Amino acid sequence: MAQGSQLYHARILLSDTDRQRYETLEFSTPQHPSEKPERLVLRILAYALLHEPGLEFRKGGLSQGDAPDLAVRDETDRIQHWIDVGMPTLDRLKKAARHTPRVSVFTHAGRLQRWQRQHGNALPQFQGQILSVSEELVDTLAHSLPRRFEWQLTVSGGVLYLDAGALSLSSPIEMSG
């Protein structure tokens, strides 16, 4: 954990009827001093919504620039599912697509629109998906995220429903790819 990082402890009760996943996810993840709260929220949501056995956060945090934000590795430590949050560069996506069977990008709608305008048809082809949730959901969570939190996260019919104490939010999950 980088000097000055803050550690966040999560407990997420996941009911994903779309993927038939019902789990309690408990984990900790650091927020690097240079990481914006919105990016931290995107990483946490990506972990929950794309969860599968073996999914791990990037070791070393943001300081490990070439590694994916989240990954599933096989027994030989080769990445089987590369997950980035935010707006990865074209070069980064091309590298991931060349070396990894599945690639996913998780972002919010505002960033996705800017990213698509910036790259247009230049986005590389890859086995995977681009997912986004509403910018309002991410911003609200980013401005109210305590260091220890519990979320009830339900996905049904392509919509994310999130309850965090008195806070109740929802957002469509847009998918492409």
Distance CA 145, CA 10 (A): 10
pLDDT digits (tens, 9 = 90+) for 98-142: 889 999 999 998 887 787 777 776 666 677 788 999 999 999 999
What values do phi and psi take at 58, rounded to 5? -60, 130
pLDDT digits (tens, 9 = 90+) for 52-98: 999 999 976 665 668 899 999 999 999 999 999 988 888 888 889 88
Strand order in the sheet with 6-16: 21-31, 6-16, 148-156, 159-164, 167-172
pLDDT surpasses 60 at 2:
no
Domains of the chain: 6-176 (3.10.640.10)
From the CB of residue 79, how many other CB atoms can be counted at a distance below 10 Å? 18
What's this model's pTM, rounded to 2 decimal places? 0.92
Which segments within 58-111 are labelled E, that is strand?
Answer: 70-73, 79-85, 102-108
